Amino acid sequence: MHLQRSALAVVVALLVLAAGAGATSASCVPAAAKTLRASGAARIYSQGSVLYGCLGTRRTRLGPLRGTVPFPATRVTLYALSDRYAGIDRVQMGVDTFNSALSLVDLRTGATLATAPAAAPEPRPESFITVGSMVVDASGTLAWIGQRSAIGVPAPTFEVHALNAARDRLLAAGATIAAKSLTLRGETISWREDGRTRSATL
């Protein structure tokens, strides 16, 4: 009888653990959608040609994944995710122009907390602003490496930015920053510049 009770207790414990694991892995993504990023309970997913973020029962539309018409065509090209915050790179593609702007979104409320251009534009009619890499931390700071160039400008300029609800900080600028080198560890970002690793605290 004692063995039977012990066996029953083991079975009950396993069922409780399985139920808890199932609750932990529950996703806010609709069944027909495709998960693109996951961090904690937060998700970024695509449904059709639209990008969404979700956390709990709240779902937030982040933007189109395909270019809208008429010109300038607008779409989301890059995105990043932490346990609560999403960062998106929304671009506008016109005739001989390409402009990129970053937005920080709180997935708990659905609010856009801040938006900023990816880099300072060149004062020329045919200019191009793009983002090479981006990260967002758990406290709500979005960081990225932007690039600006234009017809007649001999070399592009790269900028490292950090954006939160209060301000947009320019952390570094120059021609030797590696556009896709941005990484995040805790509250510290790192990038490669002139062959060396640079870092800053968000």
Average pLDDT of each block of 10 consecutive residues along the chain (202 residues)?
A: 46 41 66 96 97 97 89 91 98 81 98 96 81 97 95 89 97 97 97 97 94
- Residues 153 and 145 sit within 8 Å (Cβ to Cβ): no
- Which has the closest alpha carbon to 62: 40, 32, 33, 23? 33
Instruction: Output DSSP code: residue 107.
Output: T
pLDDT of amino acid 19 = 42
CA torsion through residues 47, 71, 85, 130, sign: positive
Q: What is the pLDDT of residue 147?
A: 95
Burial status of residue 200 (CB atoms within 10 A of its CB: 0-12, 13-18, 19 or more): middle
- Does this model's pTM top 0.85? My answer is no
